[in-house]
Amino acid sequence: MIKVVIAEDDFRIAQVQEQFLEKIQGVQLVGKALNAKETMSLLDKHEVDLLLLDIYLPDELGTDLLSKIREDHPNTDIIMVTAAMEKVMLEKAMRYGVSNYLLKPVSMEKFVETIEEFKKKKEILQDRDEVNQKMIDQFFGSSNPSTNNQKDLPTGVDRHTLKKVREVVEELRGVTIEEMGESLGVSRTTARRYLEYLVSIDVCTAKHEYGIVGRPQRKYYLVD
């Protein structure tokens, strides 16, 4: 279970992030902070795996907290979630080894994808005393030949989400648009976009099947 703290001075945004986290398995919210002081207090009281940190906190910049967090809580990973578009902010965050940097407003799809990617990296290193190059490439997201050879994806289709969609189709041995939306926590429109793209590149096939109420549903299967 990955324990998360949200540091966000706008309680409405913090509530939205909390709702996004609820869609992700294996994640537990242990607290929300409205300012830098509350953030450090939560980190002191709990064992926190991941801090979602805003930059423009009312009492101190989130970037100015990074050195203290690294010193006092070296095992806490940080993802910046901010409206700060200044390059200097990104550069400072990178110097302190943040795991990712999300610009507001963040879509649910992008938010969930980022947390899932963080989870995947944690799982790669879990219970490992030694690493090999393949594991390192997976952790840092190095490209492999199949990735380099794939065609450019159309607007609105992300490679990581596309991979997840394919995994869900395979796991469920066929899926409707509604089922895909529920599995990934995305809208029906987004689910349809990804599924239809897989059909267009002959990875999936779609069939109309009749449900319990007799209304035909479009169901997607991996091509054998």
80 in the same domain as 12: yes
Domain termination residue (choose one: 91, 125, 159): 125
State whether 121 and 180 are in the same domain.
no
Using the predicted structure, report yes or no on whether residue 139 has a pLDDT greater than 80.
Answer: no
Q: Which of 128-132, 191-195, 206-210 has the lowest mean pLDDT?
A: 128-132
Q: Which of 199, 181, 182, 202 is nearest to 190 (CA)?
A: 181
Query: Which two tokens mark 192?
Result: 């349809």
103 with 200, same domain? no
- pLDDT average, residue stretch 48-66: 97
Token pair belonging to 209? 């099947």
Q: What is the pTM assigned to this prediction?
A: 0.64
- Tell me the mean pLDDT in the region 68-78: 96
Q: What is the pLDDT of residues 154-165, one digit of tens each?
A: 888 888 899 999
**141 vs 38, more confident:** 38
Instruction: Answer whether residue 140 is part of any domain.
Output: no
2 conformational bin, left if phi > 0, alpha if psi -120 to 50, beta if neither: beta
Tell whether 185 and 104 lie within a shared domain: no
Q: What is the pLDDT of residue 131?
A: 77
Task: Examine residue 169 and state whether it is found in any structural domain, yes or no.
Answer: yes
Q: With respect to residue 136, please indicate whether it lies within any of the assigned structural domains.
A: no
| CATH number of domain containing 8 | 3.40.50.2300
Using pLDDT thresholds of 50, 70 and 90, give the confidence band for residue 133: confident
CATH number at residue 203: 1.10.10.10
120 and 9 share one domain: yes
- 145 pLDDT exceeds 80? no
pLDDT for 146: 41
Q: Give yes or no: residues 164 and 207 share one domain.
A: yes
Domain count, the chain: 2
Mean pLDDT (whole number) for 38-60 = 97
Domain range for 188 is 147-222
Residue 93, pLDDT score = 95
**Do 158 and 120 reside in the same domain of the chain?**
no
Q: Is residue 9 part of a domain?
A: yes
User: Are residues 114 and 160 both part of a single domain?
Assistant: no
Residue 12 pLDDT more than 90?
A: yes
Q: Is residue 138 part of a domain?
A: no
Examine the domain organization and report whether 85 and 121 are in the same domain: yes
Is-contact 166 222, C-beta < 8 A? yes
Q: What pLDDT was estimated at residue 100?
A: 94
Residue 195: name the closest of 167, 160, 162 by CA.
162
- Judge whether residue 10 has pLDDT over 80: yes
Residue 190 lies in a domain: yes
User: Is 15 domain-assigned?
Assistant: yes
Q: Is residue 90 part of a domain?
A: yes
Q: Are residues 6 and 36 in the same domain?
A: yes
